[in-house]
C-alpha cells in the first residue's frame, strides 16, 4: 500500500510541486522571522486550484524544508531561521567558527532528513498508540515537561551559570507580561492592547540572536575573528566514527521528539532543547556541548524535524493539531474535503498513505538539495561582513513585522536586540532568557490549571506517573553533575592519599 | 574602536528611524484620506463615485489558519471578483481581537480599510480589554455562526443533558469544564449554562479551544463548551459525544442532538462573525460595498467552505446585524460583570 503510494507520488507533476515546496520552504525557513507556519498558511490558499495530492506536496515540502533550513541560518549567522532551530545555534555556529563549515551544514541536512524519515516511520507503524499516549499529557504533565526544559538553563549557560540563571529569571519575569492565563487579568500591560498577549516570542528571539549578534560582531575586534574563521567549506559528511558517536543519542532523541511533536501544543523548539539536554547528560564529552559539539548539533537537527511525524500523527488520528504548522494544515486538509480523524484512515486510506509517501519523498528531496547547496549556502560567509549585517538587520525588521503586521513587534525585536547585545558584551548567555520566555507561560498556566483541576491539591504533580517521572528526571539532571563530580573528587583524593 | 562605536550608533539610529517611518506612514495615510473625504468639493465627489478604484485592505483579527481567517479570506476572494479590485487580507492578531479592532476603528472611513469582526466585538468592552463596542463601527453584514455545545467524552456516564445537569447539581464544583480561556466566548457559554440551570462548575481555562478538546479526549476534564465546529471531528471519530447545542435550532451538522431550549433551558451562546468598516462610511461607498458583501457571503464558495469546516452561514443585513450585535453587547455587558472576571 505504502509502496504503491510512493510510486504514485513519484509522478513528475507531484515531484515538481514537492520540489517547489521544498525550495520555497528553504527560503522561508532560512530567513529569520519567516516561519514554517507562516509559509504554509500563506501558500495554502494558492494550492486550492491544484489537486489535493499536488497541493499537499507543496505544503508538506514547505513544512519539512523550512524547519531544516532554519538550521542553516542558525549555523551560519547564529540567528535561528525558525523558532525550532534555536538549539542549533548552541553548537552549529561554534562549529563554523572552528572552520568546520561543511560539516556543520552536512550534519544539519543529514540529521534533519533522518529525523524526518524516522518520525514518518513512527507515523506509519504506530500512529494510534502514539496519539493515545500524547493524550495522556494533561496540565500536570505539561507543567513537569516545562520544568524539565527549564532545568536546562544551567547547561545552556556554559561556564556562566550564575549570570545565566540571573538572566533566566529575568526572562521568567518578562514572560508574565500580558493577560494572566487563568483570570485574564492584564499584568504589566500599561493599558496597551499590544501588550495583552505578552512579549511576542518570535520577535524577541530574532532580535536577541539576530540584532544582538550583529551589534556584537561590529564591536568585536574583527582582526582576530578573521584568523579563526577559515573560509574553506571542508568535508560535508561526518566520519564513520562521528556517526557511531551520534547513533545512540539520536535514537533516543528521535523517540523523544516524536512524542513531544505528538503532544498538542509543543513543537520543534521544545523538542530540540530537551533532546540537547538529554544528549549532553548521556555524552562522554558533555564539556563539548555548547562549544561546537557534533553530537549536540546532530540531535538538535534531528529533533526539530523529528517533531513533524509526531505532530502529523496527532493531527491525522485525532484531528487535533500537534504544533502550530499542523493547526494550519488541518484547515488545508478540510479544504481538500478530508476530515482528519480515525475515519480518515478508513475512508481515505489511500490519501493517508499519500501523505506518508509525500513526507518520505520530501525528505529525500531535502537530502539531495541540502547536500548540493551546502557550498552555495556557505558562500554567505564569503560575503563582506557589512553586507551580512545590513541584510540580517533588514530581515529581522521585515520578519518581526510580518508575524502580526505590527510595528509594536518590530519595537520589541529591536529592544530585545539591544538587550541581547548588552548581555553578550557582559558575557551573559542569552539562551536562558529565550528558554524562559518560551517555557515560562507553559509552566505557569499549566501549574495553575493543574491546581484548578485538583482543587488546590499540590499532590496532583506526584500522583500521576508521567508527571512524576518527568519531575524525578529533572531532579536527577540537576543533581547528577554536582554529585558525580563530588564523588569523583572524593575517590581522586582517596587515591592520592 | 572609535569607528566601531560610531557605526553602532549609526546603525541604531538607522533602525530607529526605519521604525519611526513605518509607524508614521500609517498615521499620514489616515490624515491624507481624511482630508480627501472631509471637504466635499465636486471633484472629490467624482472620485468617491468611482469607488472602488484601488486595493481594499481587509484586516483579520486572528492568526492565519483559524476560522476567522478562513471566512475573511474566502469572502475577500469573492469580493475581489465582484468589485474588480485587489482585496488584500492582513492578520493583526492579539488581545481577543482588540488590536485589530482598535486599528480598524482608527482607520479612515473611505471604504478601503475594512475588517472582520467576531463575537468579541460585543464582549471586549465588558471584559475591559479596550473601549470598543458595535457602535464604534459601521457594521456591514454578518457572515457566519457556530453555536456552543455541551460535549463530553464518548464513554462518560451521562447519556442526556438532564443527567449531566443533575449530576452537576448534586456535585457542585466537581464537574471540570474546559473552555478556550477566561472571558472567552466558550467560558461565557459555560457560565450561561450555570446561570440557567443553577449548577456550579469548576471552570478550567485552556489556551484556545483545540487544547481544551484534547484535554477532554485525554480524560483530564469532564466536559467542554466549545463550538460544534471544534468537536465535529471528535464526534465523528467516536471519541466525544454532544449532549446539547446552545442555539435556537438544531445544528445542521448534529441533527440528532437536542438544543438546550428543547431540554428546557433558555441558553443561546454562539460565536458569530461579520464585517465592519470604520464609522462614517460615505453613502456612495455603502451602496457599492453592501450588495457586494451580500453576494460574497451568500456565494457558493462560502457555502462549500462552511460545509467542509462545519460552521453555518449567518447572513444579516447591515441594520439587522447592527441590531443583533447591540443586543449581544447589552447581554454581555450585563452577564460578564456578574461572572467575577472584571477586576
- Say if B255 is an interface residue toward chain A (CB within 8 Å): no
Q: Which residues of A touch B206 (CB under 8 A)?
A: 449
Could you say which residues from 271 to 300 on chain B have a Cβ atom under 8 Å away from some Cβ of chain A?
none
What's the N-to-C CA distance of chain B in angstroms? 53
Q: Determine, for residues A197 and B94 on separate chains, whether the beta-carbon distance falls below 8 Å.
A: yes
Is the distance from CB of B241 to CB of B154 less than 8 angstroms?
yes
Using the predicted structure, report yes or no on whether residue B32 has a pLDDT greater than 60.
Answer: no
Chain A residues in contact with B214 by the CB 8 A cut-off are 135, 264-265, 318, 320
Dig out the grid coordinates for A140 from the structure.
500536570
For residue B22, list chain A residues with Cβ-Cβ distance below 8 A: 401, 407, 410
What residue ranges define each of the domains in chain B, with the CATH number in brackets? 52-145+271-338 (3.40.190.150), 149-245 (3.40.190.10)
Contacts of A193 in chain B (CB under 8 A): 94-95, 98-99, 102, 129-130
Q: How many Cα atoms are found within 13 Å in the side-chain-facing hemisphere of A117?
A: 15
Contact status, residue A105 vs residue A75, Cβ threshold 8 Å: yes
DSSP bridge pairs for B113:
B57
Cα–Cα distance for residue pair A421/B9, rounded to 1 Å? 13
> Is pLDDT of B20 > 60?
no
Would an 8 Å CB–CB cutoff place B218 in contact with chain A? Answer: yes
Give yes or no for a contact between A470 and A439, defined as CB atoms under 8 angstroms apart.
no
In this complex, the residue of B8, B233, B341 whose CB is nearest that of residue A340 is: B233
Nearest CA distance, A134 vs chain B (angstrom)? 8
Nearest CA in chain A to B222: A453
A16-19: which pairs have CB atoms within 8 A and are 24 or more residues apart?
Answer: A17/A50, A17/A54, A17/A55, A17/A57, A17/A58, A17/A61, A18/A57, A18/A58, A18/A60, A18/A61, A18/A358, A18/A361, A18/A362, A18/A365, A19/A61, A19/A365, A19/A369
The answer to whether ipTM exceeds 0.85 is no
Nearest to A360, CA basis, from A178, A131, A113, A177: A113
Cβ–Cβ pairs < 8 A, chains A and B: 164
Which residues of chain A fall short of a pLDDT of 50?
223-224, 226-228
In which element (H, E) is residue A466 found?
helix A465-496
* Chain A stretch 124-163, residues whose beta carbon is closer than 8 A to a beta carbon of chain B: 135-139
Q: Looking at residue A385, what is its pLDDT?
A: 78
Q: What is the pLDDT of residue A177?
A: 93
pLDDT of residue A345: 82
CA distance A401 to B280: 29
For residues A124 and A2, the answer to whether their CB atoms sit within 8 Å is: yes
Number of helices (H), then strands (E), belonging to chain A: the values are 23, 2
Subunit contact B237:A319, Cβ cutoff 8 A: yes
B3 part of contact set with chain A, CB < 8 Å? no
Contact B176 A453 (CB under 8 A): yes
Query: Of the candidates A317, A329, A386, which has an alpha carbon nearest to the alpha carbon of residue A125?
Result: A317
Identify the weakest region by mean pLDDT among A380-384, B23-27, B338-342.
B23-27
Cite the beta strand spans of chain B per DSSP E: 56-60, 87-91, 113-118, 137-147, 149-153, 176-179, 202-205, 223-224, 240-245, 270-278, 312-316
**Cα A34-A38-A41 angle, rounded to 5 deg:** 160
Tell me if B109 sits within 8 A of B97, measured CB to CB.
no
Contact flag A328-B218 (C-beta cutoff 8 Å): no
Confidence of residue B199 (pLDDT cuts 50, 70, 90): very high
The answer to whether the CB atoms of A341 and B173 lie below 8 A apart is: no
Instruction: Give the Cα separation of A26 and A438 in Å (integer).
Output: 24
Mean pLDDT of B147-165: 92
Crossing angle, helix A240-262 and helix A101-135, to 10 degrees?
Answer: 30
Does B24 score more than 50 pLDDT?
no
Is B200 an interface residue toward A (CB < 8 Å)? no
Of residues A363, A286, A270, the one with CA closest to residue A324: A270
Going by C-alpha positions, the residue among A381, A109, A384 that lies closest to residue A230 is A381
Residue identified by cell 500537534 is: A322
DSSP conformation class of B257: S
Neighboring chain B residues of A327 at a CB cutoff of 8 Å: 65-66, 210
SS3 B118: strand
| CB spacing of B19 vs A393 below 8 angstroms | no
Nearest-CA residue of chain A relative to B5?
Answer: A219
Beta carbons of A357 and A8 less than 8 angstroms apart:
yes
With a cut of 90, say whether residue B165 has pLDDT above it: yes
Give the rounded distance of the alpha carbon of A448 from its chain centre. Answer: 26
Residues of chain B contacting A348 with CB distance shorter than 8 Å: none
**A326 or B164, greater pLDDT:** B164
Cα distances (Å, whole numbers) of residue B150 to A132, B177, B183, B239: 23, 9, 18, 14
Nearest by Cα to A259 from A274, A277, A279, A248 = A274
> Taking a contact as any Cβ pair under 8 Å apart, which residues of chain B between 127 and 186 contact chain A?
127-130, 173, 176, 181-183
The pLDDT value recorded for residue B342 is: 43
The confidence band for B166, taking pLDDT boundaries of 50, 70 and 90, is: very high
Q: Which pLDDT value is given to residue A65?
A: 92
A389 touches chain B (CB under 8 A): yes
The confidence score (pLDDT) of residue B343 equals 38
User: Considering chain B, what percentage of its residues have pLDDT values greater than 70?
Assistant: 84
The verdict on whether omega for the bond into residue A137 sits within 30 degrees of 0, i.e. cis, is no
Beta-bridge partner residues of B115: B59, B276
Q: Give burial (CB, 10 Å; 0-12/13-18/19+) of A82.
A: buried
Interface touch B214/A264, C-beta < 8 Å: yes
The residue of chain A with its CA nearest to that of B131 is A193
Q: What is the pLDDT of residues B253-305, one digit of tens each?
A: 888 899 999 888 888 899 988 999 998 888 888 888 888 888 888 888 888 88
- What cell numbers appear for A12 in the block? 513528475
Q: How far is B279 from chain A (nearest CA, A)?
A: 20
B250 and chain A: CB distance < 8 Å anywhere?
A: no
CA distances from A87 to A71, A108, A241, B98, B129 (A): 9, 12, 23, 34, 36
Strand order, beta sheet including B202-205: B202-205, B176-179, B223-224, B149-153, B240-245
Beta bridge partners of B203: B177
A223, β-bridge pairs: none
Interface check for B49 against chain A (CB to CB < 8 A): the answer is no
What's the rounded Cα separation, in Å, for the pair A246 and A297?
10
Amino acid at each position: 500500500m505504502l509502496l504503491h503510494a510512493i510510486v504514485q507520488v513519484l509522478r513528475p507533476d507531484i515531484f515538481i510541486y514537492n520540489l517547489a515546496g521544498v525550495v520555497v520552504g528553504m527560503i522561508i525557513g532560512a530567513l529569520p522571522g519567516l516561519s514554517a507556519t507562516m509559509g504554509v498558511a500563506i501558500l495554502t490558499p494558492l494550492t486550492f486550484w491544484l489537486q489535493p495530492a499536488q497541493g499537499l506536496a507543496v505544503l508538506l515540502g514547505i513544512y519539512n524544508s523550512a524547519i531544516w533550513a532554519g538550521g542553516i541560518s542558525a549555523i551560519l549567522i547564529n540567528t535561528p531561521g525558525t523558532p525550532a532551530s534555536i538549539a542549533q545555534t548552541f553548537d552549529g555556529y561554534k562549529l563554523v567558527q572552528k572552520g568546520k563549515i561543511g560539516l556543520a551544514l552536512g550534519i544539519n541536512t543529514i540529521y534533519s532528513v533522518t529525523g524526518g524519515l524516522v518520525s514518518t516511520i513512527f507515523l506509519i507503524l504506530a500512529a494510534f498508540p502514539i496519539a493515545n499516549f500524547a493524550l495522556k499529557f494533561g496540565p500536570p504533565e505539561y507543567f513537569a515537561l516545562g520544568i524539565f526544559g527549564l532545568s536546562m538553563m544551567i547547561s545552556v549557560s556554559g561556564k556562566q551559570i550564575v549570570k545565566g540563571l540571573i538572566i533566566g529569571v529575568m526572562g521568567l519575569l518578562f514572560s508574565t507580561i500580558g493577560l494572566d492565563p487563568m483570570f485574564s487579568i492584564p499584568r504589566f500591560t500599561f493599558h496597551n492592547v499590544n501588550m495583552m498577549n505578552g512579549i511576542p516570542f518570535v520577535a524577541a528571539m530574532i532580535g536577541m540572536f539576530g540584532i544582538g549578534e550583529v551589534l556584537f560582531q561590529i564591536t568585536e575586534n574583527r582582526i582576530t575573528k578573521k584568523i579563526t574563521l577559515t573560509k574553506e567549506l571542508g568535508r560535508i559528511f561526518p566520519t564513520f566514527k562521528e556517526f557511531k558517536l551520534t547513533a545512540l543519542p539520536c535514537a533516543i532523541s528521535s523517540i523523544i521528539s516524536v512524542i513531544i511533536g505528538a503532544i498538542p501544543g509543543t513543537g520543534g523548539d521544545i523538542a530540540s532543547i530537551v533532546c540537547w539536554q538529554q544528549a549532553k547528560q548521556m555524552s562522554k564529552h558533555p564539556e563539548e556541548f555548547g562549544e561546537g559539539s557534533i553530537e549536540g548539533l546532530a540531535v538538535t537537527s534531528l529533533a526539530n524535524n523529528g517533531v513533524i511525524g509526531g505532530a502529523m500523527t496527532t493531527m491525522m488520528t485525532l484531528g487535533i493539531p500537534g504544533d502550530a504548522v499542523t493547526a494550519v494544515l488541518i484547515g488545508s486538509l478540510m479544504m481538500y474535503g478530508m476530515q482528519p480523524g480515525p475515519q480518515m484512515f478508513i475512508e481515505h486510506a489511500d490519501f493517508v498513505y499519500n501523505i506518508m509517501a509525500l513526507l518520505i519523498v520530501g525528505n529525500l528531496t531535502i537530502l539531495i538539495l541540502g547536500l548540493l547547496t551546502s557550498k552555495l549556502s556557505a558562500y554567505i560567509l564569503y560575503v563582506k561582513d557589512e553586507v551580512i549585517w545590513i541584510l540580517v538587520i533588514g530581515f529581522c525588521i521585515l520578519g518581526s513585522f510580518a508575524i502580526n503586521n505590527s510595528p509594536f513587534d518590530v519595537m520589541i525585536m529591536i529592544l530585545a536586540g539591544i538587550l541581547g547585545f548588552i548581555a553578550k558584551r557582559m558575557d551573559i548567555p542569552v539562551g536562558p532568557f529565550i528558554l524562559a520566555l518560551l517555557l515560562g507561560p507553559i509552566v505557569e498556566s499549566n501549574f495553575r490549571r493543574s491546581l484548578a483541576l485538583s482543587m488546590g491539591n499540590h499532590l496532583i504533580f506526584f500522583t500521576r506517573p508521567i508527571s512524576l517521572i518527568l519531575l524525578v528526571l529533572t531532579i536527577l539532571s540537576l543533581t547528577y553533575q554536582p554529585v558525580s563530580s563530588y564523588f569523583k573528587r572524593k575517590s581522586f583524593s582517596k587515591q592520592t592519599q | 574602536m572609535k569607528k566601531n562605536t560610531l557605526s553602532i550608533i549609526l546603525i541604531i539610529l538607522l533602525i530607529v528611524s526605519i521604525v519611526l517611518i513605518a509607524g508614521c506612514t500609517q498615521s499620514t495615510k489616515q490624515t491624507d484620506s481624511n482630508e480627501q473625504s472631509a471637504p466635499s468639493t465636486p471633484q472629490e465627489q467624482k472620485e468617491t463615485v468611482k469607488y472602488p478604484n484601488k486595493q481594499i485592505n481587509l484586516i483579520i483579527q486572528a492568526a492565519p489558519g483559524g476560522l476567522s481567517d478562513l471566512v475573511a479570506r474566502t469572502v475577500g476572494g469573492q469580493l475581489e471578483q465582484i468589485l474588480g479590485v485587489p482585496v488584500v487580507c492582513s492578520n493583526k492578531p492579539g488581545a481577543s481581537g482588540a488590536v485589530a479592532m482598535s486599528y480598524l476603528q482608527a482607520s479612515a472611513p473611505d471604504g478601503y480599510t475594512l475588517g472582520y469582526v467576531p463575537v468579541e466585538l460585543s464582549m471586549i468592552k465588558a471584559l475591559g480589554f479596550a473601549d470598543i463596542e458595535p457602535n464604534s463601527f459601521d457594521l456591514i453584514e454578518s457572515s457566519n455562526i457556530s453555536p456552543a455545545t455541551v460535549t463530553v467524552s464518548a464513554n462518560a456516564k451521562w447519556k442526556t443533558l438532564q443527567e449531566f445537569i443533575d449530576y452537576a447539581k448534586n456535585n457542585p464544583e466537581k464537574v471540570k469544564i474546559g473552555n478556550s480561556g477566561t472571558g472567552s466566548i466558550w467560558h461565557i457559554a459555560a457560565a450561561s449554562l450555570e446561570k440557567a440551570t443553577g449548577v456550579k462548575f469548576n471552570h478550567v481555562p485552556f489556551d484556545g479551544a483545540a487544547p481544551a478538546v484534547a484535554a477532554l479526549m485525554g480524560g483530564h476534564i469532564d466536559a467542554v463548551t466549545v463550538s460544534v465546529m471544534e468537536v465535529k471531528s471528535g464526534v465523528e471519530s467516536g471519541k466525544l459525544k454532544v449532549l446539547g447545542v446552545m442555539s435556537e435550532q438544531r445544528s445542521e451538522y448534529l441533527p440528532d442532538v437536542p438544543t438546550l431550549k428543547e431540554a428546557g433551558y433558555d441558553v443561546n451562546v454562539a460565536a458569530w462573525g461579520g464585517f465592519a468598516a470604520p464609522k462614517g462610511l460615505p453613502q456612495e461607498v455603502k451602496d457599492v460595498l453592501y450588495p457586494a458583501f451580500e453576494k460574497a457571503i451568500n456565494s457558493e464558495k462560502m457555502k462549500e467552505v462552511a460545509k467542509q469546516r462545519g460552521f453555518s452561514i449567518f447572513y444579516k443585513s447591515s441594520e439587522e446585524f447592527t441590531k443583533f450585535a447591540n443586543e449581544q453587547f447589552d447581554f454581555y455587558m450585563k452577564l460578564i460583570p456578574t461572572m467575577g472576571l472584571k477586576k
